[in-house]
Amino acid sequence: MTGWAWGLILAEAVPAKASAMVVAGREIGQSRVVCGVHFVTDVQAGRDLGAAMVARLHADPAFLADLRAAKAELAKAPPPKNCPAA
């Protein structure tokens, strides 16, 4: 749930990297299956709950303010060195 939620939030914060952020969120959940900690259905339920939580956060003015601030800060950040552009 947490990995998926972070993937969705980061995808929104950095739209140019949205695909990579969503893939990372999905892989966090899949790693739980690979490690034998959860069943596939647990991870699917976690994605549903994570998406519902992020949807609910969009009704929270404090979250929206933090998201706007994060987007502005990330827009000003220099690109990482030695990292391929996507």
Distance CA 70, CA 86 (A): 20
pTM score above 0.75: yes
The residues near 58 (Cβ < 8 Å, ≥ 6 apart) are: 64
pLDDT tens figures, 1-59: 999 999 999 999 999 999 999 999 999 999 999 999 999 999 999 999 999 999 999 99
Q: Residue 80 carries which DSSP code? A: P
Neighbour tally for 3: CB within 10 Å: 20
How does DSSP assign 13-78, residue by residue? H-GGGHHHHHHHHHHHHHHHHHTTSS-HHHHHHHHHHHHHHHHHHTT-HHHHHHHHHHHHHHHHSP
